[in-house]
Amino acid sequence: MDAAQMSALPPLYAGWMDEFLGAPIPGEAPSTCSDCAMCAPPGVPTDATLLYNPATKCCTYLPRMWNFLAGRVLADHSPESAAGRATLELRLDAGVAVTPMGLEQTPIFTLHYAQARHHFGRVGTLRCPHYLPESGGLCGVWRHRESTCATWFCKHERGAVGERFFNQLHRLLVTAEMALARWAVLELDIGAEALGLIFPLPTPQPTAMTPEDFDGRVDRLLYRRRWGHWAGREREFFAAAERLVGGLRWAEVRRIAGPELQAHERLVKEAHGRLLSDVLPERLRAEPIKMEQQGPDMSRVGTYSHVDPLSVPNELIGVLHYFDGRTTTEAILAIEDEARLRLEPGLVQRLADFGILKEVEGG
pLDDT in tens, 273-315: 999 999 999 999 999 999 999 889 999 999 999 899 999 999 9
- Percentage of the residues of the chain whose pLDDT score is greater than 90: 78
- Assign 119 a pLDDT band (cuts: 50, 70, 90): confident
Measured distance CA(38)–CA(41) in Å, rounded: 9
Bridge partner residues of 357 (DSSP)? 286
Measure the CA–CA gap between 52 and 41, rounded to whole angstroms: 10
pLDDT at 220 over 50: yes
* Residue 136 pLDDT grade (very low, low, confident, very high; cuts 50, 70, 90): confident
Phi-psi category of 340—alpha, beta or left, where left has phi over 0 and alpha has psi -120 to 50?
Answer: left
246 pLDDT above the threshold of 50 = yes
Residue 206: the pLDDT is 62
> What average pLDDT does range 82-107 have in this prediction?
96
CA–CA dist 138, 141 (Å, integer): 9
* Better pLDDT: 204 or 6: 204
Q: Is the confidence at residue 161, as pLDDT, over 50?
A: yes
- Whole-angstrom distance, CA of residue 172 vs CA of residue 147: 9
Query: Contact 57/137 with Cβ under 8 angstroms?
Result: yes
In this prediction, residue 65 carries a pLDDT of 97
Residue 199 CA: distances (Å) to CA of 69, 98, 110: 20, 15, 20
